[in-house]
Chains A and B, each alone.
Chain A
Amino acid sequence: QVQLQESGPGLVKPSQTLSLTCTVSGASISSDFDYWNWIRQHPGKGLEWIGYIYNSGSTYYNPSLMSRITISVDTSKNQFSLKLTSVTAADTAVYYCARIAESRRAFDIWGQGTMVTVSS
């Protein structure tokens, strides 16, 4: 079955760049029918969609974060990645990767999430 797994540092210093990777198994990241997303959840709060990549390179970002985000894909490793620049304490959150299956137009598969703390 399709599985997603986030990886990356759990601690990032203020003003630095947060970098996370999501490894996909059981599906091809090159699929024309799936959108590969990043979503975050601040401690004790709701869910915030960050952006997605699809069709091996097309992206769409949340306008509120657009100036600081890059989502990219490595098809050889079946992975996609998130870079968030100039982080502050407000970027402390659990970061999830998730798939939107075009047939459902819903986040049907999620990674387990990874906690990232921004602190010096």
Chain B
Amino acid sequence: DIQMTQSPSSLSASVGDRVTITCRASESISGYLNWYQQIPGKAPKLLIYAASSLQSGVPSRFNGRGSGTDFTLTISSLQPEDFATYYCQQDYSALRTFGQGTKVEIK
């Protein structure tokens, strides 16, 4: 299995802050990395696919970068609706795997 490790596991931030979440794969996954946002009680929502492509309808303050084993999701200016848990997911292997999640909380 390809292991996906996110850091940090949680963070506290204020509205307007710039926030960066890191995801590391246990082996190279090229650019096959996706990011999801999950609000409590809701299904995950696709934000970024193929490491850096913004899903339709997702605000441009979300930005993804990386390739190989190291990836980042940056929220340029945190908004109240962005407080949620974020997951990375690799689509390089047929056995899809997710990171453990990063919870973004209000400071």
Contacts and interface: CB of A to CB of B under 8 A. Distances in A.
Interface of A: 37, 46-49, 60, 62-63, 96, 98, 100, 104-108, 110-113
Main secondary structure of the interface of A (DSSP, over half): strand
A106 B95 contact: no
Contacts of A46: 87, 98-101
Contacts of A106: 34, 46, 49-50, 55, 89, 91
Contacts, number: 55
Contacts of A48: 98
B46 A49 contact: no
B87 to A, nearest CB: 6
Contacts of B46: 104, 106-108
A102 to B, nearest CB: 10
B97 A49 contact: yes
Interface residues of B, number: 23
Contacts of A108: 46, 49, 55
11 contacts: A46-B101, A47-B87, A47-B89, A47-B98, A96-B43, A100-B91, A105-B50, A106-B50, A108-B55, A110-B43, A110-B44
Interface in B65-99: 87, 89, 91, 94-99
A96 B42 CA distance: 10
A96 B32 CA distance: 22
Interface in B28-78: 32, 34, 36, 42-46, 49-50, 53, 55
